[in-house]
Structure 1
């Protein structure tokens, strides 16, 4: 398989066939993200010959893997004809695969029609991972997401209406100290309107190759401390409505693991956060945290 640069994938895709259809991220302006920075990665689309070679490799050597993840940062940036051709090829050459997934930016979802999204679902693309990060408009502007909360809501609802599984990522700490709780409440409000099947909460880690890191070193951005992050998490979780969803705050970046189904496990998870706030649970050492 041809992999250009480090490959980022969701934790739930750990055992998937990773097919790098694009290199980098077509947006690549988010101030907190260091995954696709130049000169290591400049956005490009893999050639069809390269994709075909990788599919032939997977057909021979990946027969035990039943899921495919289309890397890199946003494979949904592919033109409709190319993505359709790729999904058809996966179905034809890897007939045992039961799920194809990909990251998707709000912008790329907006560039697809409802009919196209439904067609991708028919062809096997059944899960999209969308980076919301925050539902707080001033924070979205500050981190250069390029869209506002209403655009995020519309994109999420369209993905769900097309019959695809929607997993949404949120970032603790991304609004800094001053807007921490406003960010948590606004994010919960957006999630309540999106109603994704899965919510994944990560904790911001400042990476040296990012603008946000440079702002922090100059004192222009201040991360909440552990207690502040736990209060932010509690505020977000408590404000989520009764829609059914998987809730995971068990990423390597988090100080402790939290996972359950809403609304069934909401009370139990809130109690766990309260124990963390009281210093009653063992926290992950800084050396064990990562992305």
Structure 2
């Protein structure tokens, strides 16, 4: 199998067949991100010959695979024709596959028409995971995400029109010290206009090789305390009015939260409030500073 660097996939894709389609990120400019620093290049598309070799190899060991997850920061950046060709390649080796997922940036959806997205849905593309991070436009700009909340709304509505389901990554702590409530409420305003199937919340962890660390040293941004991050997550859940699943499965999360909204809202808020009222900031901080890798 051709894998380059650390292979990232959402926790809920644990049972999917992982096929490398791209490596690295086309944007590679978010100030907080260090996920692809181990690569000697910014972004690379795998040769289709390698992808086919991997599918052929996998098919020798896994005969029935309902879901394939294309790895890389944003394989959905590929144009519609390339994505269609990849789906047809999957079908050659897994005739009974059901769906194909991958990571995507909001900007990957922009050039695709709703009709093109419908064609991709017909070929099985579904459950796309998008790192929207926040609905706080000021912080989206500061962190150089490359899009604003209005773009998230517009492009996700296109996915909905094409019947492509999607999941969000939310980055608790991205708004910075003193802005937790603002960030959570602004995010809820955005999410409440959409229908993410899963909201996977991760907590911001800052590494010294990130551009954000440099901004902190310059006094341009301050990190939220660990308890403030928990308060932010509680405020987000409190203000969400949609039907979705919210989870905190990644290693960056100090407290595990799993539930379905709106059914489990009160239970989740009660759990978070208990943690906020009883945990020791120094204990939480020790975990954060000793977290060597996400």
Work out whether the TM-score is over 0.5: yes
Deviations 1:127-173 (A, max 9, x none): 10011101011000000011111001111221122112210111111
CA contact (8 A) 2:132 2:168 kept: yes
Matched, 1:251 2:239: no
**Which secondary structure does the structure 1 equivalent of 2:141 belong to?**
helix
Task: Give the SS at the match of 1:196.
Answer: coil
Conservation of the 8 A alpha-carbon contact between 1:160 and 1:196: no
Residue equivalent to 1:171: 171
Q: 1:159 maps to which residue? A: 159
Aligned partners of 1:56 and 1:93 also within 8 Å: yes
Aligned counterpart, 2:66: 66
Which residue of structure 1 aligns with residue 141 of structure 2? 141
Contact between 1:255 and 1:289, CA under 8 Å: does it hold in 2?
A: no
SS at match of 1:278: helix
Do 2:11 and 2:249's aligned partners in 1 also have CA atoms closer than 8 Å? no
Q: Equivalents in 2 of 1:279, 1:222: separation in Å?
A: 24
What residue is the counterpart of 2:3 in the other structure?
3
Q: Output the CA distance in 2 between the equivalents of 1:6 and 1:38.
A: 8
Once the two structures are TM-superposed, the CA of residue 200 in structure 1 deviates from its matched residue by 1.1
Instruction: Note the 1:1-291 alignment, pairs <5 A.
Output: 1-37=1-37, 40-63=40-63, 65-241=65-241, 243-279=242-278, 286=287, 287=290, 290-291=293-294
TM-score by length of 1: 0.93
Alpha-carbon contact 1:174-1:204 (below 8 Å) kept: yes
User: Please, what is the CA RMSD of the aligned residues?
Assistant: 2.0
| Stretches of structure 1 lacking an aligned partner (at least 5 in a row) | none
Aligned-partner SS, 1:125: coil
Deviations 1:1-55 (A, max 9, x none): 1112211111111222111111211111111111224752321211121111111
Q: Using the TM superposition, give the Cα deviation of residue 224 of structure 1 relative to its aligned residue in structure 2, in angstroms.
A: 1.1
Deviation of 1:221 (Å): 2.2
Report the more deviating stretch, 63-72 or 155-164.
63-72
The answer to whether the Cα contact below 8 Å between 1:252 and 1:289 also exists between their aligned partners in 2 is no
Give the distance between the partners of 1:30 and 1:114, measured in 2 at CA. Answer: 28
Shift of 1:280: 6.3
Indicate conservation of the 8 Å contact 1:149/1:190, yes or no.
Answer: yes
The aligned length equals 290
**Aligned 8 A contact 1:130 1:166 in 2:** yes
Query: SS at the partner of 1:206?
Result: coil
Q: Is the 8 A contact 1:28 1:37 kept in 2?
A: no
* Aligned counterparts of 1:221 and 1:288: Cα–Cα separation in 2: 21
Alpha carbons 2:134, 2:174 under 8 Å: kept: yes
SS at structure 2 position matched to 1:147: coil
Corresponding residue SS for 2:127? strand
Q: Distance in 1 between matches of 2:164 and 2:191?
A: 16
The CA deviation at 1:209 is 2.3
Q: Deviations over 1:86-123 (max 9, x none)?
A: 01111221124332100110000111111111111111
Q: Distance in 2 between matches of 1:133 and 1:274?
A: 23
Shift in Å, 1:261: 0.6
Whole-Å Cα distance in 2 between the matches of residues 160 and 199 of structure 1?
A: 16
